[in-house]
Amino acid sequence: MNFPATLKYTKSHEWVKVLEGGLVEIGLTDYAQKELGDIVFINLPQPGDSISAGVSFADIESVKAVSDIFSPLTGTVKEINSAIQDSPESINKAPYEAWLIRAEGEIPQGELISAEEYQALLS
């Protein structure tokens, strides 16, 4: 499994990439996609929706089960990746390219961990 050092991670298995201008991109880690198995459906919020740190903002369905995806920040959804709604399997194929939403807001202290810390958590 692959955990790029350039990204930050949550303990609930999301990855976070800080973009220019304070936007953050949120996706699912390689570990999460592997645990879920074949992903077949994703239910994303709408741009403009409010999201809260530690609260589910989307659900994702694998063949086996449904899982929540938790927000690392409190703020607003700016953009959604509508391409992955049509091809949710791209999350299995390239989890760090298949971002789910871009959002803006406040990330609580201690919410994000490094790739190293995340890997330690999994072992």
Partner 1 sequence: MEKKTPLYQWHESHGGRIVPFAGYLLPVQYESGVIAEHNAVREKAGLFDVSHMGEFVIQGKAALANLQRILTNDFTNMTIGRVRYTLMCNDGGTIIDDLVVCKMEEGRYFLVVNASNREKDADWIKAHLSGDVTFDDVSDTYAQIALQGPASPGILASLSNTIPAKYYTLIEQGTVAGIDCIVSRTGYTGETGFEFYCKSADAERLWEKLLEAGKGAGLIPCGLGARDTLRLEAAMPLYGHEMSDTVNPFEANLSSAVKMDKPDFIGKASLTGKEKPSRIRVGLRITGRGIAREHFPVFAGGKPVGQTSSGTFCPWLKQAFAMALVDSAIAQVGTPCEVDVRGKKVEAEICALPFYTKGQK
- The helix (H) or strand (E) run that includes residue 107 is none
Candidates 7-15, 46-54, 57-65, 109-117; binding stretch for partner 1 (CB under 8 A): 57-65
- Asked if residues 100 and 94 have their Cβ atoms less than 8 Å apart, the reply is no
Minimum distance of partner 1 from residue 59's CB (angstroms): 7
First to last CA, the chain: 12
Chain position carrying tokens 């050092």: 5
Instruction: Kindly provide the b/e burial profile for residues 69-80, where b requires at least 16 CB atoms within 10 angstroms of the residue's own CB.
Output: bbbbbbbebbeb
Q: Does 97 engage in binding with partner 1 (CB under 8 A)? A: no
Q: How far apart are CA 60 and CA 33, in angstroms?
A: 10
Chain position carrying tokens 């971002």: 99
Q: Does 53 engage in binding with partner 1 (CB under 8 A)? A: no
* CB closer to partner 1, 68 vs 106: 68
* CB closer to partner 1, 61 vs 104: 61
Q: Does 79 engage in binding with partner 1 (CB under 8 A)? A: no
* CB closer to partner 1, 60 vs 112: 60
- Per CB under 8 A, residues contacting partner 1 are 37-38, 40-41, 43, 59, 61-64, 66, 92
